[in-house]
A and B are shown apart, each in its own frame.
Chain A
Amino acid sequence: MIREGKVFKFGDHINTDEIIPARYLSTTDPGELAKNCMEDTRPGFGGQADVDGSILVAGENFGCGSSREHAPIAIKAAGIQCVIAKSFARIFLRNCINIGLPIVELGETDAIEEGDYLKVDFSSGEMSNSTQKKEFVINTYPEFLQQIIRSGGWLSYATTHLAPERVLKGGS
């Protein structure tokens, strides 16, 4: 899997209230959530045309706070290709794996600037910054998590391998 795009850069401790404020939580519609993505930290971000197809880069503890899955859903639905941060808050990381939003933990995000063009190859573990002409090596996940990611998320894995009998016939 390869993800590439132009960088939007954020700081440390970006919490889920900033990613999608609670006043927008009375809907579960991904398109609606995407419109208000990052609203309280960068107003208007969700409505910007060039967010679709971009890569979000941040500092420490990205996604801290509430467990709302609306946060990674909003990011994914906004067309963001992957999120790269120095570290992720635990529940946010879990939600990304479960819904299939690619993420990279990378200690060197300070070296990446807003507007840089990144290409991440999740199969080879290589990442390049073509703007700055730099190469990075990214960590791969433990086998158990890779199985979930390869299946396309936790429910694809669970309904295929663990509980096919509880799915309606002819279903996915």
Chain B
Amino acid sequence: MDTTQQAQTLTEKIFSEKAGRAVTAGEYLLLDVDVALGNDITAPVAIKEFEKFNGRELFDPDRIVFVADHFTPNKDIQSAMQVKMVRDFSRTHGIKKFYDVGKMGIEHVLLPEQGLVKSGDLVVGADSHTCTYGALGAFSTGVGSTDLAGVFFTGKAWFKVPEAIRVELKGSFSPGVSGKDLILHIISELGVDGANYQAIEFTGPGVAEVSMDSRFTVSNMAIEAGGKAGLFPVDDVTRAYESQRGIEAAPRTADDGARYSRTLEIDLNMLEATVARPFLPENGAVVSALASEKVKVDQVVIGSCTNGRIEDLRSAAAVLGDARIAEGVRCIILPGSQEVYLQSMREGLTEKFVTAGCVFSTPTCGPCLGGHMGILAEKEVALSTTNRNFVGRMGHASSEVYLASPAVAAATAVQGYICGPDAPALERLGELEKKGPETKEAVSTAP
């Protein structure tokens, strides 16, 4: 099969491989997907649709993954009933990849960690942050519950091959700057709909300097610029991550000369720690500019599908040092998976957080979407490492959410107002960086 007639974006390459012929942006395709994901909010809608259409059996239960992560451990009777529906459906239809409390993590931390998605895959998920797996060089995108039900019936989904925006990276991050700052900067440049109907593809020499955990953060928030996907090439960083999970990945990049709708050039050395003000993720400002305003916070949240990985917790703990969090601040740590939870304990990070006055939660989406585990009262202010700061997102419609990295979040928790890490904290972050491979290494997969 000839799938490489002309220079292709990484997006076009993956769609061409799946279609078995060279495809170009703009085409509509009906394709088999490798993985389809649902959670405790979106899977019940898909299950009801499947039943409404008199579904008898699934096309292939092995390509379905269900993770009960949003309102779990069940926050009330209604959410318990929703998870029960997913649990019962999984049992009836032989879905083995149902992750219940005790095995679950936040879906977009769990799936890559457990090797359930891999580079080159075509993935759909009934969750907008399914774009996270683009970090692995998979084409992965958020869809709705009806699409998920469609995969139950057919194993397929419909796609329009998107055009792509290129983000050319050079240089490397300064201490205290990470993937979160990069993506908040990009969203400020593009705007919240700047990549609507398009993929964002990362290229250039700077890519190799971005760790796997930072890549997940960056791809995760592609949707906050309206992006259909956020794709990294498959390089040595990806291959090392996948090989720890028994996956042999072939290198995969866009072709030279591929056509992009636009190109952004970013020097990672020039990036500063960035905070998005309420009420849109595009409202980015460098933290140094915000610090003089001394914005007081009531709550700090560190975790989520955006920043709930081990590198994120290491960075927060390094900034914390031996300090206690400020009086009047509630700091909630949400590790992304059981494995991240364990690793945090092994490295002594959990003890550091609890000693400092933080709470350390079971993995859950929880407060990120105003579900539970840290809802804001009237006019309260939070700084959070999550992904959205819309009106009412974390609770009361008059509450406010600022978005930032784990390093900024930890610094803010200590001072009680929004600020970046101070000089000693930056030094500790620099040391963490220098420790090299063993701390850069991702969490091993659970048996």
Contacts and interface: CB of A to CB of B under 8 A. Distances in A.
Contacts of B369: 17, 22, 66
Given A17-B392, A21-B370, A67 B144 contact: yes
A68 interface: yes
B126 interface: yes
Contacts of A90: 196-197, 226, 228
A148 B158 contact: yes
B134 interface: no
A35 interface: no
Interface string B70-81: 110001101100
B278 interface: no
A143 B412 CA distance: 53
Contacts of B130: 67
B56 interface: yes
Contact of B146 (A25, A61, A69, A170): A69
B193 interface: yes
A144 B28 contact: yes
Contact of B150 (A60, A142, A155, A171): A155
A112 interface: no
Given A155-B149, A168-B55, A61 B226 contact: yes
A83 B391 CA distance: 22
Contacts of A72: 144
A167 B53 contact: yes
Nearest to A91: B142
Given A69-B146, A162-B154, A89 B59 contact: no
Interface stretch (B43-51, B94-102, B419-427): B43-51
A166 interface: yes
B192 A13 contact: yes
Contacts of B144: 67-69, 72, 91, 94-95, 98-99
Interface residues of B, number: 56
Given A89-B226, A166-B59, A61 B196 contact: yes
B82 A26 contact: yes
A158 B153 contact: yes
B41 A68 contact: yes
Given A67-B143, A90-B226, A172-B53, A17 B388 contact: yes
B57 interface: yes
Given A91-B142, A94-B144, A142-B28, A69 B42 contact: yes
B154 A23 contact: no
Nearest to A164: B153
B42 A27 contact: no
Interface residues of A, number: 51
B128 A67 contact: yes
A94 B56 CA distance: 25
Interface string B370-392: 11000000000000000010111
A15 interface: yes
Interface string A109-135: 000000000000000000000000000
A40 B397 contact: yes
Nearest to A66: B128
B192 A153 contact: no
Contacts of A94: 143-144, 147
Contacts of B54: 159, 167-168, 170-172
Interface string A3-31: 00000000001010110011101111000
B429 interface: no
Chain B CB within 10 Å — which of A17, A21, A67, A170 has the most?
A67
Contacts of B392: 17-18, 21, 40
Contact of B391 (A18, A70, A91, A167): A18
A91 B82 CA distance: 23
Interface in B228-252: 228
Chain A CB within 10 Å — which of B30, B192, B370, B390 has the most?
B390
14 contacts: A17-B388, A22-B370, A23-B371, A26-B75, A61-B196, A65-B128, A65-B388, A68-B144, A98-B146, A98-B147, A148-B158, A163-B153, A167-B53, A167-B56
Given A22-B371, A91-B128, A155-B49, 12 more contacts: A17-B370, A22-B393, A40-B397, A60-B193, A64-B193, A65-B390, A69-B42, A70-B45, A155-B150, A162-B154, A163-B153, A170-B54
Shortest 5 CB-CB contacts between residues of A and residues of B: A171-B54, A26-B78, A95-B144, A98-B146, A61-B193
